[in-house]
Homo-oligomer: A and B are copies of this chain.
């Protein structure tokens, strides 16, 4: 099955995402699936986190088009990345990299062959005029090296991974979801070593120190109670059952997080 996914900061109101789909269906009969178009405008990091969380759940061979692209129309390059299982297409600004690191074995190509772009290229919408046509031709079997040359000087972005010491884990906030849940770069594997469900643990986050229970899921906490859990992306997260933890704690991306096991 041919599949193209779309991620952007376009919103859905103005129909920009639909323009990309119209272009795709003029070239390919692939399935077209939206990841999201609600990335905070020009927030490359947020888009990168969402792409890294969602892309791995798709079948092998899926082509992901991602467009959070504040420098569209300047000299920034477009890139195509092959990984162990998927293809990633978008601007060379770090947006695709956390997904590429997660999927593994990646190779980066600069998109340069105009044969696979639209005839007329706008200066403001390469998602429609370059990335979507390239993705569509790829689903039709065009070889990667036809798209452009391999490069090594791409813009990298890596969320890193939390560190574990004897009695503690240290990391940082990498995403805040729409419920206000605070997602860190400390993985579930790491933590499950030292922690037991339903016991309180110490959490240092931002400039606050709180003692809250480690639970299997939100439903095990009382209403409005703060908690630590391993979320659906296998990352440690801090939330409030039926509440907004990020707002309550005034937390933002990149804030430090430390957890004491005892």
Residues of A at under 8 Å CB distance from B? Answer: 1, 3, 5, 7, 10-16, 18-19, 21-23, 25-26, 29, 31-39, 41-42, 50-51, 53-59, 62, 70-74, 76, 122-125, 128-129, 177-179, 216-220, 229-232, 234, 242
Contact = CB atoms under 8 A, between A and B. Distances in A.
A34 B12 contact: yes
A72 B219 contact: yes
A35 B7 contact: no
A123 B25 contact: no
A167 to B, nearest CB: 24
Contact of A39 (B13, B62, B73): B13
Given A5-B18, A34-B12, A41-B179, A229 B123 contact: yes
Give the residue among A5, A26, A232 with the most B Cβ atoms within 10 A: A232
Nearest to A60: B26
B74 A22 contact: no
B57 A124 contact: no
| Protomer copies | 3
A26 B59 CA distance: 5
Contacts of A23: 57
A142 to B, nearest CB: 19
Contact of A22 (B36, B58, B123, B179): B58
A70 B218 contact: yes
Contacts of A56: 22
Contacts of A42: 242
A15 B54 contact: yes
Contacts of A31: 25
Given A19-B53, A19-B54, 11 more contacts: A12-B38, A13-B178, A14-B53, A18-B33, A23-B57, A26-B57, A32-B33, A70-B218, A72-B219, A74-B219, A125-B232
Contacts of A217: 72-74, 123-124
10 contacts: A10-B178, A15-B35, A19-B53, A25-B33, A41-B179, A73-B220, A74-B217, A74-B219, A74-B220, A128-B232
A35 B18 contact: yes
A15 B73 contact: no
A25 B220 contact: no
